Amino acid sequence: MKQFDVVIAGGAMAGMTLALALDTLSRSQLRIAVVEPFTVDHQAHPGFDSRSIALSFGTVEILKSLGLWEQIAPVATAIKHIHVSDRSHAGMTNIDHSDISVAALGYVVELADVGRIYQTQLEQRPSISLLCPDSVHEIERTASHNVVTLQSGDQLECRLLVAADGAISSCCQALGFELKQHDFDQVALIANIRCQQAHQGRAFERFTEQGPVALLPMSDDRMSLVWCLRPEVAERVLQLDDAAFLAELQQAFGWRLGQMTQVGQRASYPLLLRYRAQNISHRFAIVGNAAQTLHPIAGQGFNLGIRDVASLAEEVVQSLADVGRYQVLNAFSRRRQADRDTTIAMTSALVHIFSNDYLSLRIGRNLGLAMMDNVPSLKTPLLQRTLGLVAR
Ligand SMILES: Cc1cc2nc3c(=O)[nH]c(=O)nc-3n(C[C@H](O)[C@H](O)[C@H](O)COP(=O)(O)OP(=O)(O)OC[C@H]3O[C@@H](n4cnc5c(N)ncnc54)[C@H](O)[C@@H]3O)c2cc1C
């Protein structure tokens, strides 16, 4: 049986960041295993697919503190300005990096790029074993350790098992964790888009009766589209040819970037809130999407997940002799509660307020957006969470 201090189920954004964080903060004193069914370049890798995500200012600060940003920065595109508007109505708000004296409000990265960079990093760290392709099959816990049986039949003994195995999380299922779910009745449609105008670091979020449309600036003057639609509308839009798709998108988004000229391959994701209130149990902790999977409306998913990762790594390295002690896990869980609850509540409220066309909500949100632009004290709490400047 192979011995480790920490076994991490899931080698995507949360799992790989955690392995690297633990290795850095412990100065390579921990033996770490990452178990992942898909190789980084596998087409079906659910964590490193064709998505682009926005990393908040706070996330970038965490990555810098872990020595990981230097490798990611060359493939990241800065967000200098965010424009939020409501389709066909006057309400809008703008946030510029100069308003708050930062170089960028956040950065956009392609997950596939980060996957390759993380893989190289992992290979350079002798204390980390990447067990791939393989997956966690069975978990047996005793007072002093866990025995994790993999699909291949290999067995790993560890002090702490961390589930970073995504929304469904077979580890959490195996251990009987309760999962709360809410179906938003929306599908996120993603694609890369080219427009007539250069993006100049501008990101856009536009609320429509169907759901929000976000366009994020990417390398090579492309825009990354996340278009949230009712499932039946998404199904129809996915079938359109490129010209018809662009025409419909143009109508929903408007002309702020001139004519939309090209669309790349499209993919879709059903949108559900998935939440496990309890994020620890005996010699077991949960991070990232396994703990909570959010609607992408405010781009908070990994930005929240990395705060799980950083807090867990900081607590674990306080107790190198036994990284799975109850005190370690309890401290982690308590640190994470307020941030998780608030971010989930804020994200879900935004979906409900902005995906409706009830007159009262429409008037309210337009007033809200207009006021936010003029009253800094209203803008501040949302802005701080958007920037990832959150206590953890
Ligand atoms: C359309 C869209 C746009 C988004 N935009 C943003 C954004 O702008 N900003 C942001 O911060 N977030 C965004 N997100 C969310 C973000 O992508 C996720 O929060 C993040 O990628 C989740 O990473 P994860 O590692 O926690 O989980 P996952 O990516 O789900 O990875 C889980 C991993 O576990 C592996 N696994 C599964 N079962 C097992 C097992 N039994 N044993 C071992 N391994 C297993 C899987 O193969 C997978 O690799 C967006 C999401 C969507 C859908």
Buried b (16+ CB within 10 A) or exposed e, 95-120: bebeeeeeebbbbbbbbbbbbbbbbe
Q: Is 22 contained in some domain?
A: yes
Inside any domain, residue 57: no
| Residue pair 2/148 in contact by the 8 Å Cβ criterion | no
The CA 49 to ligand 1 mean position distance, Å, reads 9
Tell me the CA distances in angstroms from 36 to 9, 14, 33, 113, 137, one per residue in order. 7, 12, 10, 17, 12
Ligand 1 centroid to 47 CA: how many Å? 5
Atom of ligand 1 nearest to the CA of 47: 29
Nearest CA to ligand 1 atom 53: 269
Q: pTM value?
A: 0.94
Measured in Å, residue 289 CA sits from the centre of ligand 1 at 6
What separation in Å is there between the alpha carbon of 31 and the centre of ligand 1? 24
Q: What are phi and psi of 115, to 5 degrees?
A: -55, -45
The answer to whether residue 223 is domain-embedded is no
pLDDT at site 391:
83
Residue found under tokens 């424009």: 83
Residue 332 in any domain: the answer is yes
Q: Are 305 and 390 in contact (CB under 8 A)?
A: no
Predicted confidence pLDDT, tens digits, the chain (392 residues): 999 999 999 999 999 999 999 999 999 999 999 999 999 999 899 999 999 999 999 999 999 999 999 999 999 999 999 998 877 665 677 888 998 888 999 999 999 999 999 999 999 999 999 999 999 999 999 999 999 999 999 999 999 999 999 999 999 999 999 999 999 899 999 999 999 999 999 999 888 877 889 999 999 999 999 999 999 999 999 999 999 999 999 999 999 999 999 999 999 999 999 999 999 999 999 999 999 999 888 888 999 999 999 999 999 999 999 999 999 999 999 999 999 999 998 888 777 766 665 555 555 555 555 555 555 555 566 677 778 888 88
Query: Does the residue 267 lie in any domain?
Result: no
| Helix/strand number for the chain, H first, E second | 11, 20
Chain center to CA of 107: 13
Mode of pairing for the β-strands spanning 202-207 and 81-86: parallel
pLDDT at position 359: 56
Q: Supply the residue whose CA is at minimum distance from atom 2 of ligand 1.
A: 296
Residue nearest to atom 3 of ligand 1 (CA): 296
Distance 91 CA to ligand 1 centre (A): 33
Count other Cβ atoms within 10 Å, centred on residue 64: 13
DSSP state of 85: E
Residue 356 lies inside a defined structural domain of this protein = no
- CA 12 to ligand 1 centroid distance, Å: 6
Q: Which of 79, 58, 69 is nearest to 17 (CA)?
A: 69
Which CATH number goes with the domain that contains 124? 3.50.50.60
Atom of ligand 1 nearest to the CA of 171: 41
Distance between CA atoms of 183 and 23, rounded to whole angstroms?
37
Question: CB of 188 within 8 A of CB of 271?
Answer: yes
What whole-number distance in Å separates Cα of residue 336 and Cα of residue 340? 6
| Distant-in-sequence, close-in-space partners of 273: CB < 8 Å, separation ≥ 6 | 180, 181, 182, 184, 292, 293, 294, 295, 344, 347, 348
Sort strands 267-275 and 280-281 into parallel, antiparallel or unpaired: unpaired
Domain extent at residue 313:
2-43+111-181+273-350
Query: In total, how many domains does the chain have?
Result: 1
Q: How many angstroms separate the Cα of 261 from the Cα of each of 28, 57, 61, 130, 238?
A: 49, 31, 35, 42, 17
Sequential DSSP letters for 211-265? -EEEEEE-GGGEEEEEEEE-HHHHHHHHHS-HHHHHHHHHHHH-STT--EEEE--
* Structural contact between residues 106 and 60, judged by C-beta atoms closer than 8 angstroms: yes
Q: Probe ligand 1: pick from 60, 131, 190, 289, max atoms within 8 Å of CB?
A: 289
Q: Is residue 123 part of a domain?
A: yes
Other beta carbons within 10 Å of 173? 12
DSSP 3-state helix, strand, coil percentages of the chain (rounded to 5)? 40, 30, 30
Distance 73 CA to ligand 1 centre (A): 20
- pLDDT for residue 164: 98
**Ligand 1 atom with least separation from CA of 13:** 25
Contact 182/292 with Cβ under 8 angstroms?
Answer: no
- Among protein residues, the one with the nearest Cα to ligand 1's atom 9 is 299
Q: How far is the CA of 301 from the centre of ligand 1 (A)?
A: 8
| pLDDT confidence of residue 318 | 97
- In ligand 1, the atom with minimum distance to the C-alpha of 15 is 25
Tell whether 8 is covered by a domain: yes
| Distance (Å) from CA 155 to ligand 1 centroid | 25
Residues with CB under 6 A from ligand 1: 9-15, 35-38, 46-47, 51, 53-54, 135-136, 164-166, 170, 188, 190, 226, 269, 288-289, 296, 299-303, 305
